[in-house]
Amino acid sequence: MLLILCWAIAACAGIPLLMLAAEAFVGAFPEARQSHIPAPPFVVLIPAHDEAHGIDAVIRAVRNQLRRCDRLLVVADNCTDSSAAIARAAGADVVERDDPDRRGKAYALAYGRAALRQDAPPSIVIIVDADCLPGPGALPRLAAHAARYESVVQGCYLLTISPHATPLVRVSCLAFMVKNMVRQRGLARLSGGHALLQGTGMAFPWRIFDTAPLETSSLVEDLKLGLDLTLAGSPVRFDSHALFTSHASAQAATQGQRTRWEHGSIVTALHYIPRLLSAGMTGRPALLPIAMDLTIAPLALLALGAMAILALLAGVATLGGPVAPLVALLAAGVMAACALLFIWLLGGRKILPGAMIVQLPRYLFWKLPIYRRLMGGRQKSWVRTSREPD
C-alpha cells in the first residue's frame, strides 16, 4: 500500500516534469518557413478597455499590414478614457460597449462579432490585443494559414523587455517564452499539429468564429475558448513565424498579471484535463498530449511542488520506505532541468543573462503570494493589467 501511495505522489510531479522535458526538447528548434500564399480578405478585431496610452501605435502598426479589402474594428469596452476617439482618429472603425456588469475581453469580442454580422461576414477574423504589436507580415500570414487549413491559428506571442528590466521581470519573460513559443511548438509536434490559444494573434475562419462560445467570465478566456473548440472538433494550430509582441509590465504589475493568468489557467486545467483524457482514450488520441500539457503547472509552482514531494519521498525512504519512486521523480526533475537549460543556452540568455540566474530562488519566493491566494482568496474577477513599462 505504501509503495502504491509513493508512486502516486511521485506521478503528481513526475508526469508534468516529463511532459515539460519532452515539449522543450521537441520544440527547441523552429520549423522552416512555408512558401508565401495569398491571404483572403480579413478583419482585425481589437478589444480595448482604457487603452488611450498606447492604442494609437497599435492601430498604425495594424493598418500598415492591411489592404483595401481588409478592415480594422476596435471595440471600446466600458472605456472611461479617450480610447474610442483616438482609435477613430487613427483610422479604425469603432463600436462602443457600455455594460459594467459584464466586463472583460470575452464580452468585448462577442460584441464585436455582433457588429461584424451586420455587414457581409469576413473570411477571416484576427484578434489582436490593444497593447500588442504585430510583427512584419504577421497579419496576412495568419489569415492565409487560417484559410488554407480551415482552422484556428495562434501566432507566436512574446514579451519584449527594456535593458533596465529587473531580474524578476526577466525570469518571468523567460518563462513566458518557454510557454508561448517552445512548448507550443513541442505540443504541436507531439500531438500532430494541435496547440493552445494564448490571447493575441489569433486567426479564426468566420465559419468557426461565428458560432464560437465567446462569452465567458473565465480569467483565461482565450485558453478556455481554444479547449472548447478543440473538444468540439475544431483544433487550434500554431504558427511560430507570425510574431506578436507586447512590452513587459513593471515588476509590481507583472505579479498582478501572473496572478490572473496562473489562477485562471490552473482552475481551467483541472476542469478540462478529465474531459481531454476521456476523449483521447475513446477515439481521439491527439488530445492526450494536450491533457498532459495542461498538467504542467506554472514553472515556479511546478518547481516548488516537485521539491516538496522529493523531500517527502526522501523522508519516507530514510525511514525504510520504497526508494524507486524517489529515484524516478529525481530523474524526471533532472530531465526537465536539462531541457530548460538547453532552451536557455539556445536563446534564453538574451532574456536572462547568466549573471542573473542567481535570482531564480528569489523568483520562486516572489511567486509564493500568488499560490497562497490560490488556496484562499483566489482571484475570480477580471482586472485590467497595468501597461506601465518595466
Shared domain check, 219 and 75:
yes
CATH code for the domain of 170: 3.90.550.10
> pLDDT (tens digit, 9 = 90+) per residue, 27-70?
999 887 776 789 999 999 999 999 998 999 999 999 999 999 99
**Residue 32 located in a structural domain:** no
**Residue 388 located in a structural domain:** no
Helix or strand (DSSP H, E) at 96: strand 93-97
Shared domain check, 61 and 97:
yes
* List of residues 6+ apart from 249 with CB closer than 8 A: 169, 257, 385, 386, 387, 388, 389, 390
Shared domain check, 202 and 109:
yes
Residue 260: what pLDDT? 66
pLDDT band, very low/low/confident/very high, at 377 (cuts 50, 70, 90): low
Q: Are strands 124-127 and 133-134 parallel, antiparallel or unpaired?
A: unpaired
Shared domain check, 329 and 218:
no
Shared domain check, 306 and 197:
no
Shared domain check, 270 and 164:
yes
Rounded CA separation 145/204 (Å): 10
Q: Identify which of 200, 175, 231, 168 has the alpha carbon closest to the alpha carbon of residue 361.
A: 168
Question: DSSP secondary-structure letter at 255?
Answer: H
Rounded CA separation 194/226 (Å): 10
Answer whether 0.85 is exceeded by the pTM: yes
**Domain boundary residue among 246, 275, 304?**
275
**Residue 382 located in a structural domain:** no
Rounded CA separation 31/16 (Å): 25
Tell me the three cell numbers of residue 314. 526522501
Q: Quick one: average pLDDT of 85-105?
A: 91
**Residue 331 located in a structural domain:** yes
Q: pLDDT at residue 86 above 80?
A: yes
Residue 163: what pLDDT? 85
**Order of strands across the sheet with 236-247?**
93-97, 71-77, 42-48, 124-127, 202-205, 152-160, 236-247, 133-134
95 bridge partner residues:
75
Question: DSSP secondary-structure letter at 389?
Answer: B
Q: Quick one: average pLDDT of 93-115?
A: 91
Mean pLDDT of the chain: 89
Quote the percentage of the chain above a pLDDT of 90.
70
**Residue 152 located in a structural domain:** yes
Residue 375: what pLDDT? 62
Query: 336 by DSSP, 3-state: which?
Result: helix
Shared domain check, 139 and 13:
no
> In the block, which residue shows the cell 491571404?
39
**Domain boundary residue among 275, 303, 320?**
275
Residue 322: what pLDDT? 94
Please check whether residue 205 is in contact with residue 119, taking contact to mean a CB–CB distance below 8 angstroms: no
> pLDDT (tens digit, 9 = 90+) per residue, 298-332?
888 899 999 999 999 999 999 989 999 999 999 99
Shared domain check, 239 and 315:
no
Residue 26 identity (one-letter amino acid): V
**Residue 380 located in a structural domain:** no
Q: Identify which of 265, 294, 270 has the alpha carbon closest to the alpha carbon of residue 23.
A: 294
Domains in the chain, number: 2
Spacing of C-alpha 102 from chain mean position: 23
247 bridge partner residues:
160
Count Cβ atoms within 10 A of the Cβ of residue 171 and give its class: 0-12 exposed, 13-18 middle, 19 or more buried.
Answer: buried
Q: Quick one: average pLDDT of 78-107?
A: 91
In order of 65, 81, 130, 365, the CA distances from 60 in angstroms are 9, 19, 12, 40
Shared domain check, 46 and 23:
no
Q: pLDDT at residue 129 above 80?
A: yes
Shared domain check, 328 and 211:
no
Shared domain check, 225 and 105:
yes
Query: 45 by DSSP, 3-state: which?
Result: strand
What backbone torsions phi and psi does residue 75 show, to the nearest 5 degrees? -100, 105
- Expressed as residue numbers, the domain containing 158 is 42-275
Count Cβ atoms within 10 A of the Cβ of residue 122 and give its class: 0-12 exposed, 13-18 middle, 19 or more buried.
Answer: buried
**Domain boundary residue among 275, 299, 329?**
275
Q: Is the dihedral of CA 278, 279, 280, 283 positive or negative?
A: positive
pLDDT band, very low/low/confident/very high, at 271 (cuts 50, 70, 90): very high
**Residue 383 located in a structural domain:** no
Shared domain check, 217 and 85:
yes
**Residue 282 located in a structural domain:** no
Quote the percentage of the chain above a pLDDT of 70.
91
Residue 254: what pLDDT? 55
pLDDT band, very low/low/confident/very high, at 390 (cuts 50, 70, 90): low
Query: 200 by DSSP, 3-state: which?
Result: coil
